[in-house]
Structure formats: C-alpha cells, structure tokens
Chains A and B, each alone.
Chain A
Amino acid sequence: MSIHNRQHNLNFNIIGLIAVIHLFFIGTALCYAGYDYIDINNPFLRKIPIAIPLFKTVSENPAEKRMSNKSSDLLSETLKFTGYFKILDQDAFLVDPGKSGIIASNINFQNWTGIGAELLITGGFQLSDNIIEMELRLYDPFKGRLLVGKRYKGWISDQRKMIRRFCSEVIYVMTGKRGIFDSKIAFISTGSGNKEIYICEFDGNNPVQKTRTKNITLSPAWSSDGKWIAYTAYKKGKPDLYIEHLKEKRSVVVAKKGINITPAWVPGKFELAATLSYSGDPEIYMLTGTGKIIKRLTYNMGIDVSPAWSPNGGKMAFVSNRSGTPQIFILDIKSRKVKRLTFHGRYNTSPSWSPDGDRITYTAMENGQFNIYVISADGGDPVKLTYNEGDNEAPSWSPDGSLIVFSSTREGGPSRLYVMTSYGTDQRRLLALPGEQTNPKWSPNIN
C-alpha cells in the first residue's frame, strides 16, 4: 500500500493542472502484480497486445465526443511510443465499451481475451466549461482484475499532461519504473541558419528554439535535476562553455584559452566534467556548476573528450586517442585507474551510459559508415543496433533506459532525429524540422 500512499501525497500543483483526484478501488494485490508482464531479458521481443477502446462520454455532445476520441487516440499513441505494446485494432473489438460499461462489474472480459487482448484500458470522459474529467482504468482481462485506476481533472490544455500521467502509471505497473513521460530532448538544429539548441518533449512534440547565439552551438548537456543546461557556443568567436539555468536568468561562461567543450553533469551534483585545452592539449576537468575548476581528471598528451557519467557518478566513460585512434575508456574516479572499453574498430566515440549502469551505447565508424552499438559497461562484445541505413550517430538513453534517441541520415537527405528501443527495435523518426537535426540529449524526468 505504500506506493498508493505516496501517490496520494504527490504534489499536483503543477502549472495548469487544477486538480487531480485518484481513484480508490485499487486492489491491494496489484502493487506487486506487475512485472511478469514484461520479459526483462528483452522487453521488446514480444509486444503486449493491449485494447484501448474509445472512451465513454457522459453526454452525446459532439465537442465532448471529439475531445474524448482525441484523448483515447493520444493514449494509444503515447503507449505505442514506449515500444512495449501492440495496440489492437479497434475494428476487431467485439463490444463497444462506450455503450456498455467501463468498470469491472460491467465488463465481460471474455470479449477481450477472445481477441487476444492481454491488457485493456477503459476510459470515462466528461467535458464541461473547458474542464476535462477523465477516469482511466487498466485491466488484466485474463485475471479479470483492475491493475490501476485513476481519475484526472484539469483544463483542456492539460489533456496531454493527464494522458501522460496515466501512461506513467501503466508503465509503472508493467516495469516498476516511471517511464519517460516527463522527459524532454535537447538537440541541435540548423533551421535558423545557425546551429542552435532546441528542446522538444520526449515524443518530439512542441520543439522550441532555446538558444539564439547566431553562431555555432553544440553539445547540450542536462543537469540531473533537469534545471540546468550546459553547452558549447562560439558566441565570442571561439568554443566556450555556457552553463545556463533553463527558467531563471542565471548563467556562467567558461572561456579559457583554447577549447572549452563537451560538458557532462555529474549525477545528483551541481558539478560537471568538460574538456578544456588551456594547458596545451584537450584534457577533461571537473568543474563546479559556477564554472570553477575542481580538479583535472585525465592526464594524456592527446585528445580526451566527451565524458559520460555512470548513474552513481563513480565512473566516467570518455573518448581518447591515447591508443592511436579514438576509443572509449572508463575512468574510475576513486582509484583513478583508466580502462579501455572498446577494442573493435578504429573509431568509437560519443558514449552514453545507461540509467541502469550496466550498458554503454556509442557511435562506431566502420568502412566509412557510422552506426550505433551497445556494449556492457564491463566490456565484452558490442552489439550493433543500426544497420546499412545512412549514418547513425550520437545515441542518448531515455531516463528509464528503455529507449535511445540518435541522429540518422537514413532518409538520404539531412540528418534527422530517430528513436529506437535499447535493443535496437522499433526504429522511427522522432521529428523533422527545417535544416538538419543532430546531437540529441535525452533529459531526466523533469517535475
């Protein structure tokens, strides 16, 4: 029950959401019912068939019906995006819950098991005076049991937020994790004529230009609370490091002689690693969030660049050419020992450490083609995730580790952002804007 109590205590005073009331009749058993729905060895190998019929509206008001159908479509799309589900075709449904019922006592679950649905979501929808009320329930039709039920109330403009909140509940029941629904993606786009940083929602919606340096801008990096972003820009004619608060007007610049590039925030701290070359060659340093050097982390005459932290901050992966070509190395912060991670191929760069800590994804060049690989953080054989489809670069994990965003030229034209599951399945385009889009960085979930 502790989970439910915690949920009741959640603060829902986020902008716009006027009130969120939780449903009640959640069986106690289901707190620990969930995780056997998904194969943890490869959760995307077999997609779970889920039925999401149109929501039941209180009235026959066409505006309400329209908004209701939009909500159920949005729910289907959002759950599909996660890669875990196969959304069943509504034409195959034997009953219309809009006409029958949406609560367990009114549902004949055999109508759903009969079409192969292993999960069912029913919804009730009401629209009055620009306020939406939704009741959403996730059922296991085989067990005839409610897994999670919630009621949401908010402005029409909060529709997406309400749907996402319920998706988060669904994913929590399935995986024990909160999912990606409060995360964003920062990336570089050239639509304005210069490389500038843009930020969109996790599913590519609402891209917004964040920087206006009118010059080269690169390498956005999220702090682990999602409140700060660090990046490299040539505002003053050379590559300097900018550390900025996303909402307040607070920022600092690190503009030492040479290059000031590739920031990576230390998990849970207001500190970041970055490459500076003021000593004469590019080395990685630990900096405070205010841009002061704490200590030097690498010692090698040559290139040391692109740090990526393990989730607990104990280790740092980075790219070095100390063995002749760019390869990924791991520095143990405490022991200061450096271990080479990649041995396949002559060009392995842009590491991103999985949120579970066990895997590292990176870009490799072979035969002039760039592709994305995943390797155990302990080393071993890398697994190739992209094949023969243009250049695929700059992978970045989603905060729950289930997805990877990357850039790809597979359409033959300019580089676009793509998403795939962390096992390489379900590769699809995230968004396309004017110009080209590169260097995506997935944020943590931001509350």
Chain B
Amino acid sequence: MRKKLWIILALLLVIPGLLFTASCAKKTVKSELAVTAAAEKTSQQASEIMREKMAAKNMFINEDIYFDFDKSNLLLLAQDVLRRKAEWLWSNSEVSVIIEGHCDERGTNEYNIALGDRRAESARNFLVDLGITGSRLTTISYGEERPVDSGRNEEAWAKNRRAHFTIE
C-alpha cells in the first residue's frame, strides 16, 4: 500500500516533465537535454525523499520503548521516543498502528498479559494526548509470550519489557 503511494508520487513528478519535453519538440537539442536532466534531477530528489521517508518509517517501527519491572508508567526516554513517533504519525495521517505490550518472563502469564495491556495503553494514551486520533491506535498485549531475548538475566529482561509498534 505504502509502496504504491510512492510510485504514484514519483510518476506525478516525472510525467509532467515528460509531457513538457514532448510539447517542446521543436526546440533545440540543447534545451531538450536540459529538460531531461531536470527531470532526472527531480526523480533523484524524489527517490532521496523516498529513502528518507522509508528511514523514518523504519525508525518508527524499530524503535521500542522500555519499562521498569512490574511498571507500566512511561520513563522519560520512552516519552522522547513517543514524541518522535507522534511527529511521524502527524505527517503520515493515513497510517494506523498496532501497539504491542510485552513483559519479561518473570511473574504469572496471566498478570503479565494484563501488565502488557497497561503498557500498550500507556503508550497509546500518551500519543492521544499529543493529538493522534485514538481510532488509529490499536493495542495488543502479548504478556511474556513473545520475548525478543530468551536469556534469563536482567539484560534480556530489560529488552523484553517493551512496547513495540507495527503498521496495520
């Protein structure tokens, strides 16, 4: 879906350039070349913008926020990350996201599903407070069921206590 949009955008930039080239068929070869170069430059810029946009999107998806053990309140670092995510969501207003809440393996599975739900909801509420429409933000709690690190130490646990974002 997102890829298609970019292709359309690129075509929108390139096609008028081509049309322009066609309509000026009687002009000199030199100007024709110049126009082609300009079109090329435009498409280059477009792909650069595309790359940047992709990078921003990837950052949105890859950057998790982290929590303390048995806590669902947002740490300062997590709030910074969420502000960046809100900016991205502002400039990509057609995108809906799923916020996954995760826990480390300690404690009961059942309590951890509820805790993961609270974590995802904390992130969601923060984004809503920053003006993101609530209907764009769905939460799913995985509790302790989907760790990114299966280690049994604080380092692994800290990585697993997270909220992860995916694009719907």
A-to-B contact residues, CB < 8 Å:
195, 216, 218-219, 232, 234, 237-239, 258-259, 261-262, 275, 277, 280-282, 302-306, 319, 321, 325-326, 347, 349-350, 363, 365, 368, 370, 393-394, 438-439
Residues of B within 8 A of A349 (CB): 107-108, 110-111
| B153 shortest CB reach to chain A, Å | 11
* A305-B109 CB under 8 A given contacts A216-B145, A259-B141: no
Inter-subunit contact B145/A195 (CB<8 Å): yes
Inter-subunit contact B107/A238 (CB<8 Å): no
| B155 shortest CB reach to chain A, Å | 14
Residues of B within 8 A of A393 (CB): 108
Q: List 24 A-B contacts (CB under 8 A).
A: A219-B109, A238-B140, A258-B139, A258-B141, A262-B110, A275-B114, A277-B117, A281-B117, A281-B118, A282-B114, A282-B118, A305-B110, A305-B111, A305-B113, A306-B108, A306-B111, A319-B110, A319-B111, A321-B70, A326-B111, A363-B108, A365-B107, A370-B106, A394-B108
Inter-subunit contact B108/A350 (CB<8 Å): yes
In the complex, A350→B107 CA distance in Å?
A: 9
In the complex, A258→B124 CA distance in Å?
A: 12
| B140 shortest CB reach to chain A, Å | 5
Inter-subunit contact B145/A350 (CB<8 Å): no
Q: Which of B110, B115, B118, B139 contacts A306 (CB 8 A)?
A: B110
**Chain A residue with the shortest CB-CB distance to B142:** A216
In the complex, A37→B96 CA distance in Å?
A: 68
Residues 107 to 149 of chain B near chain A (Cβ within 8 Å): 107-111, 113-115, 117-118, 121, 139-143, 145
Residues of B within 8 A of A319 (CB): 108, 110-111
Q: Which of B117, B140, B145 contacts A282 (CB 8 A)?
A: B117
Inter-subunit contact A303/B114 (CB<8 Å): yes
- Given contacts A195-B145, A258-B117, list 13 more A-B pairs with CB under 8 A: A216-B145, A218-B109, A218-B110, A218-B113, A237-B140, A238-B140, A239-B140, A261-B114, A277-B114, A277-B117, A349-B111, A363-B108, A365-B107
| B96 shortest CB reach to chain A, Å | 14
In the complex, A306→B121 CA distance in Å?
A: 20
Inter-subunit contact B109/A303 (CB<8 Å): no
Residues of A within 8 A of B106 (CB): 365, 368, 370
Inter-subunit contact A347/B109 (CB<8 Å): no
Residues of B within 8 A of A305 (CB): 110-111, 113-114
**Chain B residue with the shortest CB-CB distance to A324:** B70
6 cross-chain pairs, A with B, having the tightest CB-CB distances, nearest first: A282-B114, A303-B114, A349-B108, A305-B114, A262-B110, A259-B117
**Chain B residue with the shortest CB-CB distance to A259:** B117
* A303-B141 CB under 8 A given contacts A218-B110, A219-B109, A349-B111: no
Inter-subunit contact B145/A303 (CB<8 Å): no
Residues of B within 8 A of A394 (CB): 108
Residues of A within 8 A of B140 (CB): 237-239
**Chain B residue with the shortest CB-CB distance to A325:** B70
Inter-subunit contact A280/B111 (CB<8 Å): no
Residues of A within 8 A of B143 (CB): 239
| B52 shortest CB reach to chain A, Å | 31
Inter-subunit contact A259/B109 (CB<8 Å): no
Residues of A within 8 A of B110 (CB): 218-219, 261-262, 275, 305-306, 319, 349-350
Residues of B within 8 A of A277 (CB): 114, 117, 121
**Chain B residue with the shortest CB-CB distance to A393:** B108
From A195, A218, A282, A439, name the one whose CB has the most chain B CB atoms within 10 angstroms. A282
**Chain B residue with the shortest CB-CB distance to A217:** B145
Inter-subunit contact B141/A347 (CB<8 Å): no
Inter-subunit contact B107/A303 (CB<8 Å): no
Inter-subunit contact A347/B113 (CB<8 Å): no
In the complex, A304→B143 CA distance in Å?
A: 15
| A298 shortest CB reach to chain B, Å | 12
Residues of A within 8 A of B108 (CB): 306, 319, 349-350, 363, 393-394
Residues of B within 8 A of A237 (CB): 140
**Chain A residue with the shortest CB-CB distance to B145:** A216
Inter-subunit contact B118/A303 (CB<8 Å): yes
* A281-B111 CB under 8 A given contacts A326-B70, A347-B70, A365-B106: no
In the complex, A305→B111 CA distance in Å?
A: 6
From A216, A262, A303, name the one whose CB has the most chain B CB atoms within 10 angstroms. A303
In the complex, A363→B107 CA distance in Å?
A: 9
| A28 shortest CB reach to chain B, Å | 50
Residues of A within 8 A of B115 (CB): 303
**Chain A residue with the shortest CB-CB distance to B141:** A259
Inter-subunit contact A302/B118 (CB<8 Å): yes
Inter-subunit contact B107/A259 (CB<8 Å): no
**Chain B residue with the shortest CB-CB distance to A304:** B114
From A219, A258, A319, A394, name the one whose CB has the most chain B CB atoms within 10 angstroms. A258
From A237, A262, A393, name the one whose CB has the most chain B CB atoms within 10 angstroms. A262
**Chain A proximity mask over B37-80: 1 for CB below 8 Å, otherwise 0:** 00000000000000000000000000000000010000000000
